[in-house]
Amino acid sequence: MLRYLGVVPLGAYLLVFLLIPTGELVVDAFRDPSGTFTLSNVTTIFQAQYLSSFAASLELSALAALFGGILGFFAATAVVHPNAPRLVRSSVTTFSGMAANFAGIPLAFAFTSTLGATGVITVAFRHVGVSLAAVNPDATTLGLALVYTYFEFPLMLLLLVPALDGLKREWREAATNLGASGFTYWRTVALPILVPSLLGATVLLFGGAFSAYATAYALSGSTGNLVTELIGNLTNGNVTVDPQLAYALAFGMIVIITVLMVIYGLLQRRASRWLR
Amino acid sequence: MAALTATAPARPVPARGPRRLARRRLPIWHLLWLVVAAAYFVVPVVSLLEFSFGGRVGGHAAGFHWYLTVFNDPSFRSSFLLSVRIAIETVVLSNLLLVPSVFWIHLRLPHLRPVMNFVSVLPFVVPPIVLIVGLIPFLSPFTFLYSRPEVLAFIYVVFALPFLYRSLDAGLRAIDLRTLAEASANCGASSASTLLRVVLPNLRAAVIGGSFLTVAIAMGEFTISSLLSFNTFPVYIFNIGENTGNEAAALSVISLLLTWAFMVGLFIVGRGGRAGAQVAATR
């Protein structure tokens, strides 16, 4: 039993800085300010204005996961293509690591410089008479989703390359020998095998967009309507303006992300069946 | 071969069938997607650079004007140094906490590894914006810690944990720990000196790789430091951006180059390493 002493410091640390604060938050979501049990905090978040925040966050996450997923998937299939030069593979994975870590405040300014009201691309399109107001990252969900795509697609690529490597050459050759075109091979062999990996990676992308705060806050300021921005507005240093509401919203986020992680875990188990 | 490359995506696929003796081109469809991805990667960075050198000052092109302006701002120095200090503290603290624990789990408590795998997923379930809501009422009574910037380092350790843990776990799995430990014990070494003098030198790449990611997290974190009102480097960039876009662009370029320097460092140390461990930014 003494050997368990070796993990006491780590366990205690996690207890103090992760588990107890999170546990208290969940408990406090079901308490009124005097400490008695109540459901009113949690029922509050079902009011229209907070539901619309959750809907906005989910919509943004879905768009970001979709864009990032599509671009990441096709870039990944190009990278693992047998005719792709070696240099492409190593450089794309390195750049993906770099892009996936480019987030937060600097990323927000990069996209303001690109697609914002006076952004380089916006101005260039204005010269040929096309307005890009619909994808302005400072003001539109679509624009913000394009910002998130910047770190989402490289993440998709990094997650998918190992799965695509798991597709055996023999499967493709067998399909070709049976007369399958490239499209038929993808539709009937590769995609069915890849579906759990694809969905699993998309779920991770969705979760990443759902819990993001810094980038969105830097772009839309305190006017944003995302759940994370709402929690940020309620929480400020020593003063939590409406702690009960903040607990309830944070609890709602934990529930949603937990569901996502469970789905991801199940998909991972399914994905590992073929790809070993 | 597929099984090997599945865990090491940075390595090229050497398998080439005998049919493919002649070098064939990448189909145009694939090439197109690579071009789109490359453009998506490059264009925002180029726009950012353009803004950081953009505008006119005193009748001529700005050149390095915005960079010089921020370098001469005393708040730039203080916020940057604060972030560096917190990053160093986070790295030291997380390594002190994790290296002995993960070593001990591998050596004596291997049945706890699934527990650790689960625990290392928790920081994803509880993102910074959620954790801070629980941390404020819990930590604020401890004013000696709560009022000092060091509290950030203590919190960042939680977010660095999954990445450092995965790096160390992979590093320890790659060596024959049991044999090394037994050999070391036969020579009369204690567990502590086995860790320090036998295992740690073998874990150098894992420790350095995990620490690079930890620095990247700590230097770029905005959510918690802004909500606790500490003027770290990202908070400073954000505040500048409220006033002058060009200066904020210059600062973003500096921040970007720093992050990328760490990622390139990570690539060199780990030769690409495991794909999942390359992404550590908090958003």
CATH code of B114's domain? 1.10.3720.10
Query: Is B101 within the bounds of a domain?
Result: yes
SS3 A239: strand
Three-point CA angle A22, A27, A33, nearest 5°? 115
Query: Is B120 within the bounds of a domain?
Result: yes
Per DSSP, B70 falls in state: H
In the Cβ-directed half-sphere of B263, how many Cα atoms lie within 13 Å? Answer: 24
Query: Is B34 within the bounds of a domain?
Result: no
pLDDT score, position B1: 35
Is B238 within 8 Å of chain A by CB? yes
Q: Residues 232-251, chain A: which have Cβ within 8 Å of B?
A: 232, 235-238, 240, 243, 246-247, 250
How close A57 comes to chain B (CA, Å)? Answer: 14
Domains of chain A: 7-38 (no CATH), 49-107+140-271 (1.10.3720.10)
CB contact under 8 A, B41 and A101: no
Is A211 within 8 Å of chain B by CB? yes
**What are the 10-residue block averages of pLDDT along chain A, 276 residues in total?**
87 94 94 88 90 95 96 94 84 83 88 92 93 90 95 92 88 90 89 90 93 92 86 72 88 94 88 68
Domain with B256 in it: 65-278
pLDDT score, position B124: 81
Per DSSP, B187 falls in state: T
**CB contacts < 8 A (A, B):** 318
Q: How many domains does chain B have?
A: 1
How close B35 comes to chain A (CA, Å)? Answer: 9
CB contact under 8 A, B46 and A218: no
Which residue in chain B has the smallest CA separation from A23? B134
pLDDT score, position B5: 38
Q: pLDDT digit string (tens) for A51-82?
A: 999 999 999 999 999 999 999 999 999 999 88
Q: What Å distances lie between residue A105 and A147, A220, A232, B211, CA to CA?
A: 11, 12, 15, 22
Which residue in chain A has the smallest CA separation from B253? A106
Task: Give me B191's structure tokens.
Answer: 């567990």
Q: What is the rounded CA–CA span in Å between residue B91 and residue B96? A: 8
Contacts of B12 in chain A (CB under 8 A): 86, 89-90
Contact B218, B91 (CB under 8 A): yes
Best mutation target, A81, A155, A181, A213, to test chain B (most B CBs within 10 A): A213
State which residues of chain B have pLDDT below 50.
1-11, 20-22, 272-277
Query: Is B54 within the bounds of a domain?
Result: no
Is A254 within 8 Å of chain B by CB? yes
CB contact under 8 A, B140 and A9: no
pLDDT score, position B282: 58
Closest CA to A82 of B17, B7, B6, B274: B17
Contacts of A252 in chain B (CB under 8 A): none
pLDDT score, position B195: 87
SS3 A101: coil
Give the helix, strand, coil percentages of chain A, each rounded to 5. 75, 0, 20
Residue A59, exposed/middle/buried by CB under 10 A (0-12, 13-18, 19+)?
middle
Is A165 within 8 Å of chain B by CB? yes
pLDDT score, position B10: 47
CB contact under 8 A, B229 and A237: yes
Q: Residues 12-31, chain A: which have Cβ within 8 Å of B?
A: 13-14, 17-25, 28
Q: Would you say the C-alpha torsion B232, B238, B241, B247 has a positive or negative sign? A: positive
Number of other CB atoms surrounding residue A86 within 10 Å: 11
Closest CA to A103 of B35, B17, B281, B237: B281
Is B120 within 8 Å of chain A by CB? no
Q: Residues 69-98, chain B: which have Cβ within 8 Å of A?
A: 97-98
How close B182 comes to chain A (CA, Å)? Answer: 17
Query: Is B84 within the bounds of a domain?
Result: yes
Task: Give me B280's structure tokens.
Answer: 């550590």
Is B145 within 8 Å of chain A by CB? no
Query: Is B228 within the bounds of a domain?
Result: yes
Query: Is B113 within the bounds of a domain?
Result: yes
pTM: 0.87
How close B13 comes to chain A (CA, Å)? Answer: 8
Q: Angle between the A243-271 and A191-210 helix axes, to the nearest 10 degrees? A: 160
Q: What is the rounded CA–CA span in Å between residue A16 and residue B89? A: 18
B57: β partners: B60
Contact A247, A29 (CB under 8 A): yes
Residue/partner pairs of A167-171 with CB below 8 Å, 24 or more apart: A167/A193, A167/A194, A167/A275, A167/B2, A168/B2, A169/A82, A169/B15, A169/B17
pLDDT score, position B275: 39
Query: Is B215 within the bounds of a domain?
Result: yes
Strands A239-240 vs B56-57: parallel, antiparallel or unpaired: unpaired
A20 phi and psi angles, rounded to 5 deg: -65, -50
